[in-house]
Amino acid sequence: MISPEFWSIPPRHLTSAELNKKFALLQERLTNISNRFSDVRFATSLAAEDMALTDAICKSGAKIQLFTLATGRLHQETIDMIKATENKYQIAIERVYPQESDVQAFVDQYGMNGFYDGEEPKKACCGARKIKPLNAALLGADAWISGQRREQSTTRTELNLEEHDDARGIAKFNPLFDWSEADIWAYIQKENVPIHPLHLKGYPSIGCEPCTRQVKKGEDIRAGRWWWLQSDSKECGLHVNQ
């Protein structure tokens, strides 16, 4: 039986001059955001886009606080990446945990892995482990940043640099909205940004361990997220205004 060929990091195609121009614009965006708002926070998943943003934030000197959603179901590699990133950039990344009562309520209703049963329990799990903690992490902030890109999925094709997060009543920015996947990896390779180990094993998109798997070559880059659901929307709800 022939083993499937999985996604791999795309080759770099930008020249150094083109990449330097993109990097300068990214730093300008981050600095402008930091200057416009008094309390800006960045939610990092430690995946490629967010590592590129972390590198740019640290090099720009922008006053942006970093946090990550410690869902309780992350890969060990992701947990290890948090510490490795802190050591690399000499920064502190806040771990934001779900409330035990919220997780227990989900387990009582659906079971520990009940998210496999359909869209509703999947949303409930993400709500307890990701959305409520994100809301708590953004309390008091007047802007936040994500690593979303237009190219990532059909639900993000209209993404802009700046939008208003109606659900939380604050500004939201997507500094990489117009970057391609190849752009991200060219930046990471040129700037020697730490790479999440799962990217080297066929995972282009990384979330919680039970809800993420490798992607075969030629598949959509988010095909490995919630793969058991028949839906074009591969979202957990973090980036949906409600």
Task: Read off the pLDDT of residues 63-102 as tens digits, 9 standing for 90 and up.
Answer: 999 999 999 999 999 999 999 999 999 999 999 999 999 9
Flag whether 225 is in a domain.
no
Which tokens sit at 234?
């591969």
4 confidence band (pLDDT: 50, 70, 90): confident
Flag whether 238 is in a domain.
no
> Is-catalytic flag, 58?
no
Q: What is the dihedral of CA 6, 82, 91, 88, to 10 degrees?
A: -50
Quick one: pLDDT at residue 242? Answer: 44
Flag whether 221 is in a domain.
no
Flag whether 5 is in a domain.
no
Burial class (CB in 10 A: 0-12, 13-18, 19+), 192: exposed
CATH of the domain at 28: 3.40.50.620
Burial class (CB in 10 A: 0-12, 13-18, 19+), 64: buried
112 confidence band (pLDDT: 50, 70, 90): very high
Please state, rounded to an integer, the average pLDDT across all residues of the chain. 92
Flag whether 202 is in a domain.
yes
Flag whether 83 is in a domain.
yes
Number of domains making up the chain = 1
Between CA 48 and CA 187 the distance in angstroms is: 10
Which tokens sit at 87?
């050591």
Residue 52 has pLDDT above 90, yes or no: yes
Catalytic residue among 125, 208, 211, 236: 236
Flag whether 9 is in a domain.
no
Range of the structural domain that residue 186 is part of: 16-211
Flag whether 4 is in a domain.
no
